[in-house]
Amino acid sequence: MAELPEHGSPKAARILAAAGELLLSRGSKGVTIAEVATKAHVGKGTVYLYWKTKEDLLLGLISRDFVALADEVVAAVTADPELARPSRLGPNMLEVAARHPYVNALQTGDDVLLGVLADDPRSATLLETLGAGAFLHHILPIWRRHDLARTDWEIADQAFALQALLAGFLTAAPSIGSRLPVGDPARVFAASITALLGPERATPEQVKLAAEEGIRALEGGRAVALGIISG
């Protein structure tokens, strides 16, 4: 794993923690390097030793959240390869993403929290590599190869439908809130994926192979996020 500033510097770790608290409470527009430095008990110059701009610092936070998400999913699939099944992996990724506020903000287009960060090319890169929709798009060919998804229609159309389904669940549940008419949205999402992709006919060996390929895809995305962090 690439060495990150906070691994060898308590000051860098405090700066990240302070910036994270401010970002969540105020949004990116309300964060200044001066306030981050004060909250972290360091001088402004110390912050600039590690990050050239406020945007670099805040995008670093978001990238770390994507790395943490990838690590969490990789660990789960490694421990239980059956999690690679579409009906299980889709709901799992939604659940994991909900525990990562910066990932969730970027995926749902939270302009209040992100501000100009939403338009940063690095944000687009994160979504294209480790965003839930992009990852499902990347893993769809793996599912098709290993009898975990139907292959009787064009893959581009199938990928679009899968991403549209995911986008609907990402946006609908938070907006409906307590008025959600079902008690278990994850169960409904799993059933929706199965209805879209068809029955999972894979053998245990095929599921294992799909899990290994999916892990490699996640690790590739993780490397991209680490590259954004290191600049």
Same-domain status, 118 and 209 = yes
Band (pLDDT 50/70/90 cuts) for residue 209 is: very high
Same-domain status, 83 and 30 = no
For position 178, what pLDDT does the model report? 43
The pTM is what?
Answer: 0.87
Residue 147 carries which DSSP code?
A: T
What confidence tens digit (pLDDT) does each residue in 74-118 have?
Answer: 999 999 999 999 999 988 888 888 889 999 899 888 999 999 999
- How many whole angstroms separate alpha carbon 120 and alpha carbon 83? 33
In a domain, 56, yes or no: no
Q: What is the CATH number of the domain that holds 4?
A: 1.10.10.60
Within 8 A by CB and 6+ apart from 101, the residues are: 24, 65, 113
- How many whole angstroms separate alpha carbon 13 and alpha carbon 55? 17
Same-domain status, 179 and 108 = yes
In a domain, 58, yes or no: no
For position 182, what pLDDT does the model report? 53
In a domain, 57, yes or no: no
Band (pLDDT 50/70/90 cuts) for residue 32 is: very high
In a domain, 217, yes or no: yes
CA-CA-CA-CA torsion for 50, 54, 60, 63, nearest 10 degrees?
Answer: -170
Same-domain status, 167 and 193 = yes
pLDDT at residue 176 above 50? Answer: no
Same-domain status, 75 and 159 = yes
Q: In the chain, how many domains are there?
A: 2
In a domain, 74, yes or no: yes
Same-domain status, 46 and 69 = no
In a domain, 8, yes or no: yes
Same-domain status, 30 and 109 = no
Same-domain status, 39 and 72 = no
Q: What percent of the chain has pLDDT over 70?
A: 94
- How many whole angstroms separate alpha carbon 6 and alpha carbon 12? 5
What confidence tens digit (pLDDT) does each residue in 37-51 have?
Answer: 999 999 999 999 999
Dihedral class, residue 14 (left if φ above 0, else alpha if ψ from -120 to 50, else beta): alpha
Same-domain status, 124 and 31 = no
Same-domain status, 154 and 179 = yes
Same-domain status, 159 and 210 = yes
Could you list the residue range(s) of the whole structural domain that residue 47 is in?
Answer: 1-51
